[in-house]
Amino acid sequence: MFASALGKIHQQVMWNRLIAVVEEQAQAILRTAFGSVVREAGDLSAGVYDLEGHMLAQAVTGTPGHVNTMARAVNHFLERFPIETMKPGDVFVTNDPWMGTGHLFDFVVVSPAYHQDKPVALFASTCHVIDVGGRGFTAEATSVFEEGVRVPHMKLRDQGILNEQLLGLLGANSRNPVEVKGDILSLVSSNDTGEMRLREMMEEFNLSSIESLANFIIDNSREAMIKAVKEIPNGVYPTDMELDGFEHPIIIKAEMTVSDDEVIVDYAGTSTASIYGINSPFCYTEAYTCFGLKCIVAPAVPNNHGSLEVFRIKAEEGSAVHPKDPSPVTARHVIGQMLPDIAFGCLAKAMKNRVPAESAGSIWVLPMANIGGGKTEVSNSSEFNVMNVAMGGIGARPGKDGLSVTAFPSGVGAIPIEVTETDSPLVFWRKEFAPDSGGPGTFRGGLGQVIEVGNTEDAPFTVSAATWDRIVNPPRGRGGGASGKPGKAYLVSGGDFSDKSVHTVPQGERFIVELPGGGGLGHPYQRESTLIQRDIEAGYLSPEGAKKDYGYDP
């Protein structure tokens, strides 16, 4: 018995060490990436897999949409390049939306890891690059062919020799060739770092294989997740949500079925795919639905093949959550990043008082560029193509207010405005909390933010509203809580940006975005007066808002 217990402790120590290995892998991307959305916002992920393509560990740094899609993506590589055909120094790549992470802007890079001249694992990493050609970061495309260059599964490095032809092709089709090449090479470096650290780990623990460790990780994670699922009453729990959409609203319908050892979420009845690029490929749908389930059901269980295996996602092909190739998908955030709230909606009916209210969901990406993309198009205009991100509020949580200006579920960080201002002639005149935007409740929803941007040059510029949603349909409250304030986008001089098009900010003008606030939880009149007064003093709540929403009039 003692030997068995000691063996489990030993395996746990190695498991923790493996997580440290992939975290260093992710940090290598942050240190070497060129694009600001990667190095500043952390829009990336990294992980290690066994030789069958099962994810064993993921980095703490990164997004669920990346890591959970990669959990499937590695298998697509193995189908095309069996492990026995791989060689030391090989690196493989794709940005196929249906077999990668959901849109062309994310490159997935996979590398075999060797120890004692034998393959022992696979490392995978991904990040968002700023431009892959086509129409740029816009939802206006009507097919994936318009959205940029699609790279099929192929070798990026052959036994240590880089595929310069592929890198040249990508650079020739990008408005930001230096940044794109730098970001892709950062993924190669990160996988190399992972292999080096894994080899050191195996030498330290005198391992010739990680197969035993892999089985320990997967089996224990699956067992822990099944144990958590057993705490949910068996049954069928439906929910639905209306999103603003593009040419028409998108209705998402889901039905969660819970049994003793499995949770199935079926999206039957969801709207058909949009003709524009807001659709969520099934890999992205699966990734964020599983993330939402896990957040509530078993947040402490590590995320890997074993724990994810307990969840099964189903969707009708041709729907907005399972679009067919070549549907447009650039702004898949609009639908995909709302799906954790769908999972929460189902779980709220099964697990009373344990589920937050709805959040802003999709981050509002702010892709901004000069008109025409070159100096010759408009006089006095510099050439720039930059990206920043704006964030709304998280829904109120059981026993706590929601977090303000926080990217949930993506988890990306903010890009400092100084970075964008350095890379372009743009200036951010305001970036601050939006008072009264959090949904009223016993526990208040998190606040959104207000951002105001203009051009220092005497020239117009563009901003893409591709991922802006919840302008018509705000995040809903729960348990008597009210909805958060809806989003809004407009020019300072007037005139709303009412759709997801690429909008022109005229010469001398500024645009403003107001991000949605999270929904409230519990009846507003049950909120403690001391908390209301604190919010007023902090500027989170206006005196008028306190009286209107909470009946508070000191």
Q: What is the pLDDT of residue 291?
A: 98
What is the spatial distance between Cα 286 and Cα 55, in angstroms, rounded to a whole number? 15
- pLDDT in tens for each of the 554 residues of the chain? 556 778 889 999 999 999 999 999 999 999 999 999 999 999 999 999 999 999 999 999 899 999 999 999 999 999 999 999 999 999 999 999 999 999 999 999 999 999 999 999 999 999 999 999 999 999 999 999 999 999 999 999 999 999 999 999 999 999 999 999 999 999 999 999 999 999 999 999 999 999 999 999 999 999 999 999 999 999 999 999 999 999 999 999 999 999 999 999 999 999 999 999 999 999 999 999 999 999 999 999 999 999 999 999 999 999 999 999 999 999 999 999 999 999 999 999 999 999 999 999 999 999 999 997 544 455 668 999 999 999 999 999 999 999 999 999 999 999 999 999 999 999 999 999 999 999 999 999 999 999 999 999 999 999 999 999 999 999 999 999 999 999 999 999 998 998 999 999 999 999 999 999 999 999 999 999 999 999 999 999 999 999 999 999 87
3-state secondary structure of 66: helix
Tokens 């599983």 found at: 290
Nearest alpha carbon to residue 47 among 127, 161, 153, 150: 127
Q: Which residues of 78-116 are buried (b: 16+ CB within 10 A; e: fewer)?
A: beebeeeebeeebbbbbbbbbbbbbbbbbbbbbbbbbbe
Q: What is the pLDDT of residue 7?
A: 83
Q: What is the pLDDT of residue 379?
A: 62
Distances (CA, A) of 502 to 326, 428, 464, 517: 21, 19, 4, 24
pTM over 0.85: yes
What is the spatial distance between Cα 284 and Cα 114, in angstroms, rounded to a whole number? 30
What is the spatial distance between Cα 233 and Cα 238, in angstroms, rounded to a whole number? 14
Report the alpha-carbon angle 490-491-492, nearest 5.
120
CATH code of domain 222-353: 3.30.365
Distances (CA, A) of 507 to 422, 429, 443, 460: 20, 16, 43, 4
**Cβ pair 405, 484 in contact under 8 A:** no
Q: What is the pLDDT of residue 554?
A: 77
What is the spatial distance between Cα 331 and Cα 233, in angstroms, rounded to a whole number? 36
Tokens 């197969």 found at: 211
Question: What is the location of CATH 3.30.365 in the chain?
Answer: 222-353
Residue 199, Cβ neighbours under 10 Å: how many? 18
**Cβ pair 128, 118 in contact under 8 A:** no
DSSP state of 253: E
Distances (CA, A) of 173 to 41, 104, 148, 176, 177: 24, 13, 8, 9, 8
| Spatial CB neighbours of 74, under 8 Å, sequence gap ≥ 6 | 49, 53, 55, 110, 122, 124
Residue count (the chain): 554
**Composition of the chain by helix, strand, coil, percent to 5:** 35, 20, 45
**Cβ pair 339, 280 in contact under 8 A:** yes
Q: What is the pLDDT of residue 376?
A: 45
Q: What is the pLDDT of residue 377?
A: 55
DSSP state of 248: S
**Cβ pair 392, 470 in contact under 8 A:** yes
Q: What is the CA radius of gyration of the chain?
A: 24
Nearest alpha carbon to residue 470 among 245, 304, 279, 235: 245
